[in-house]
Every structure is written in C-alpha cells, then in structure tokens.
A and B are shown apart, each in its own frame.
Chain A
C-alpha cells in the first residue's frame, strides 16, 4: 500500500483500476536513417500526420458538441499548427537533406519552436508552447503506430493517473467512465481541477512523482475531500473506503428523490435554494439537482484562457444559453469579478503590493468602461423574455454603485437608440462583501433591487486575513462572531426595507451554517450545484423556530470555535443521516 498526499482539487471519493495516461517515454528509436530510405521516411511522416489530423478533427467536433466552442478551439489551434505548410517543409527537408528520422525531425523542430515561444515576451505565447508539446506527443505516437489513449472511448470505469493532463486530454474525459483523476503536477486552480470540478469528477493534483510505482490495473483510491491517493490499498483501508462510498451512494440515491420537492422547512417556510455556477454546461447539474435558479453566474470564464476580450456576441450567447436552459427560473449574472488572484486580459497597472485591496472587480470594470459596457449590453440583450438579474460585485462606496449604474444606463440608452430590445425592468443588485457596504447598507438598499452577501470576501475583509496565506489561513473563519454580526445587520436592514437578500459563498453551502442563516432571517441561499440536495434535505428536516433558536444562541457567542462546535452538534441532532463521521 502506498499513500500519497496531494492537493484536493475536486471533491468526492472513488475507487477504481488505474489507467496511466501519457506516461510512456517519448523515446526516439533512432536519430538518423540511411540515404536510400529517406523517401520512405518522408512517406511515414505524411501518413502519421494524416492520422493525427483525422484524430484531431474528430476530437474537435466531439468536444465542441460536448463542452462548447471554447474547448473545441483548443483543437482548432492544434490543427492549424499541424497543417502549417512551413512546418511540413522543414520536417521534409530535415529528413531528405540531413537524413533525420521522422521522429527526430518532429521532436527537434517542435521543441525549437516551443523554445522560441517561451522566450518571447508574452505569457500567452509561452503557454502556447504546451500546444507544441501536445502536438509532438501526438505525432510521435502516430509514428510509433500506436493509438493514442482514447479517453473519450473508455469502455470500463477507470481512475486516470497522469503526470499532467494537457487541456485537450482533460476536455476529452468521459465522465461516464472516469471515476477520478490524479495528476503529479498542477495546483487547485489548474485547468484539470476546473474541468474536473465542473464535471463532478473527484480529483487530486500535485501529488509529486509516483507513476513509476503504479501499474495499469492497480486498485487506486482517490479521496478528493482530503487530497489523498492510496495505491494498492490493504484490505482494511479498502473496506473502510468501500463503506464510505456505499454511504455516499445511498445518500445520493436518497437525495436524488428530493429533486422535485420544494426547499421548505418542516413548518412550511419556503426557502429559495439556488446554485452558483461558473460554466454554462453546469446548468444541467442545477436542473438535475432541483435548484430553484442560478443565484450566482460567474462570468470570469469568458475572459480566462482567451486570447482576446470576449465579444458582445460571445457574452450574449453564454448568458442566453444559461437563461434558456433554466426555463424561467431566475438567473443572477454577476459582472466581471477579475483581478487580484485571477489573471485577466485587462491591462495590469504594474505589480500591486496588496492585490486584494487593489484594482480588482468592479474597480477594474469602472476603469475599463468600454469593455464593461460590452458585458452590460450583452446582459441587457439576453434579458428579453428571460428571468435575468444583474449584479455588481465588490461594491464598497455609494459612488461606485452609482457609477456602475450610470454605465448601465448609458448601455440602455444606446440599445434604445439602436432599437434593440431588452427587459426594461431587469432587477439590479449588488454583492455585499465589504464591511463598508454592510455599514452603509441603509443607504445602498434604496438604490438596488436585491443584495447578495458574498461571505468569502466579507470574511477576508472583516478579519483582515488572506486565506491563501498559510501563515494566517487559520484565522479565516466565516463563523467568526464579527462576520456573523455583519451578516445579521445586512439581513435586518434588507428585511426592514423589503429588499430580497441572499447569501452566496461557501458558507451557505455548508450544512452547519444553513440553519444559522435561515434563523437570522435569510430566505434565499445560493450553493454549489453539488450541495443543493443535502442543503434541501436539511431545510426540510428543521423548523423555522429551531433555526431561530440556533441563531439567537449563536449571536451571543464570543468566538468561532464555540460557534462551530455548537453548530456541528445541532446538525448531528437534526439531520443525522447527512453527517458522515
């Protein structure tokens, strides 16, 4: 048995047989060929190129259908490189004039280009060098006459183990058979992690080297909750995880029966339970889990990993697609929340000493009004006949809110002048995630149609803690009484003025906090699509009075540990079936 500790990238536990991907050495069998066989070598190169081209075309079409054009574009770029006439000429001439083997010609040429890309002063191009390595791998496999691992055509369940998955490999994963993913390299925000999470495949990344010790078919346990990978587990460990898995499955089966039942407390108080999504394809999960709508549609994906700013049309398509799929349920679109930890395309104003206190989110949008307007126009246009709501992130001052609304009004007037239709009554809201917004909420509340409390940032800004900083991460506690008092203040103010308030952020998806939030007076929670069923079950188990008692009690407490210990006990008592060990 071998236990590895990596980074938990996508939750869930899985047990399965190992399938090792792309671990084969890219070995070049020989470097040179005899003069009289060069023509045969050139033919061999052409055949391999044709095979790879066919494969890529099929992949592009299949992935475009499955995940959308943005992923399909990965292959379109590869295809164009493969068809590059100059590349073809260079490869042929290395074989004909210098008697290189096809493999050696491919490898040396593509690596030379990759090196040039890496040296150019552009992060974007430096990343494109991965495409060249991807292409090199494909061609060498084609030359070896080996079929590439068809991750899309798996016929039995497997745990995918790899050094690193290229974007193309990750996008092709078939969630029907891929039980889990483990990669030796990568971080929690790597491409693999994002796609795995989006498809709800358990994943652990950054385990360090271990593939040499694994054989295909070995039993592997992947614990995506704790970031653990166990290779060839002993009997006891295997049994323990099998039991966990069985509990998870029977719970999942039970939770699935909740889909069409309302999120309503035992005494009949309806709670709006919506989901937070990042990618358009996640609406499927929202519907399958019976969410009441999309409470937070993050729009950063449109900007990340793109070579240029998204066009109005791309925005429009992404919003329309989700609104249409949600069939009249409300969808709240949050405008761009880039900056600080996330890299966008908008020009960076040099390095910032304190990025979380810097030019990010709404500040960045107000600085780049032209691109902000593109997004706002698209949201407005997509609102026709749909239940869309628009929300500004990270508002700290009234002035910011008013400026943002002014840009919105400009966009409306433009559309009006152009005779383009939009929903004139689209509700406008703001995220409350700075202590400043909480303290001034009585003023803000008159200028918005709804608020959404973002507990992640609110916690970080209230406690002055960067949760990405290991040294102080333990101070980051949404259950800190200071944070809870701010939330309580928000809910009271909003309820007094009859302005709908909801909570999005990791806090609302955690069972132990859901009771507390409802007790404080919230009637709308937005959680990750995967957690909708269990939060719904919790809501259906408790009465409003129980929640209110919990909230009253918690608001008298003095520290986060006390709050957490109390809430944990409370959950165990009210919803024992949802608490595993």
Chain B
C-alpha cells in the first residue's frame, strides 16, 4: 500500500529568510511527524527533518517553496507547517503576561 502524499505551496515571509529560528522551528515541527517531510525549492528537494539541509537551501524572504509529506500523518504535517510559514513562525497564543 502506498502512503498518502500531501503537498502545499508556501512563501517565506520572514525578512531574514528561512534561517536560524524559522529553520529551527520548521525542523522541530517536521520531526514530530512519522511521515517524511520534504522542502522543495525549484527542482531541489531536501529532507525537512535535517537542519543542515534546510539551511543549505538558502531560502530568502519571498522565496516560494513546496512542502511535500509522505506517510500516515502527511495531511496534518503539511497543514501545520504551512500555517507556520503564514504566521512568519511566530508562536501561537504566546502569553502576553509578565
């Protein structure tokens, strides 16, 4: 049985590109899923669970990427990761209290 595949196009909105903190968060999120996660730029596809690979993509602000996941929880992985891009990798509901 072949695993389900899910894809979604995203744009890097962070001014400093997909570097350090955003890359760190992306890889951490990808690591939580059983499915394979690929980050695709043009015709270059890299492992989304590998920080070194994600960094070497050198995706700057405005770069369009495709997220492709293959495996049992592919749909959810793609949905969550695409949301992170849209939120510019800001944490959700971060507490505003001291």
Contacts and interface: CB of A to CB of B under 8 A. Distances in A.
Interface stretch (B3-11, B46-54, B68-76, B77-85): B46-54
Interface string A299-321: 00000000111010100100010
Given A80-B27, A121-B58, A125-B58, A86 B14 contact: no
A420 B24 CA distance: 32
Contacts of A307: 16, 19-22
A500 to B, nearest CB: 28
A85 interface: yes
A77 B90 CA distance: 18
B35 to A, nearest CB: 14
B55 A117 contact: yes
A311 B21 CA distance: 12
Interface of chain B, main secondary structure = loop
A122 B49 contact: no
Interface in A41-89: 76-77, 80-81, 84-87
A467 interface: no
A347 B17 CA distance: 12
A440 interface: no
B98 A125 contact: no
Interface in A106-143: 113, 116-117, 120-122, 124-125, 128
A421 to B, nearest CB: 11
Contact of A124 (B20, B28, B50, B51): B20
B92 interface: no
B44 interface: no
A124 B14 CA distance: 13
Contacts of B19: 122, 124-125, 128, 307
Contact of A77 (B22, B24, B94, B98): B24
A308 B58 contact: no
Nearest to B14: A308
Contacts, number: 72
Nearest to A324: B98
A345 B51 contact: no
Contact of B56 (A113, A121, A313, A316): A113
B56 A84 contact: no
Interface residues of A, number: 28
Given A80-B51, A117-B56, A308 B27 contact: no
Contact of A128 (B20, B22, B50, B94): B20
Max count, chain B CB within 10 A of own CB: residue among A80, A87, A308, A420: A308
A81 B20 CA distance: 11
A120 B52 contact: no
Interface residues of B, number: 27
Contact of B24 (A76, A345, A381): A76
A87 B52 contact: yes
Contacts of B90: 311
Contacts of A87: 50, 52
Interface string B27-48: 1100000000000000000010
Contacts of B21: 307-308
A122 B22 CA distance: 15
Contacts of A116: 56
A76 to B, nearest CB: 7
A345 to B, nearest CB: 6
A80 B95 CA distance: 25
B15 A122 contact: no
A87 B56 CA distance: 13
Contacts of B95: 313
A315 to B, nearest CB: 12
A322 to B, nearest CB: 13
Contacts of A84: 50-53
B26 to A, nearest CB: 11
Given A86-B47, A86-B53, A120-B58, A347 B15 contact: yes
Given A84-B52, A86-B52, A309 B20 contact: no
A78 to B, nearest CB: 10
Contacts of A80: 24, 27-28, 51
A80 B20 CA distance: 11
B75 to A, nearest CB: 22
A345 B52 contact: no
Interface of A: 76-77, 80-81, 84-87, 113, 116-117, 120-122, 124-125, 128, 307-309, 311, 313, 316, 320, 345, 347, 381, 420
24 contacts: A76-B24, A80-B24, A84-B50, A84-B51, A85-B49, A87-B52, A113-B52, A116-B56, A117-B55, A120-B56, A122-B19, A122-B60, A128-B55, A307-B20, A308-B14, A308-B20, A308-B22, A313-B94, A313-B95, A316-B96, A316-B98, A345-B16, A381-B96, A420-B96
Given A80-B24, A122-B17, A128-B19, 17 more contacts: A77-B24, A80-B27, A85-B47, A86-B47, A87-B52, A121-B58, A122-B58, A124-B17, A307-B16, A307-B19, A307-B21, A308-B89, A311-B94, A313-B95, A320-B98, A345-B16, A347-B15
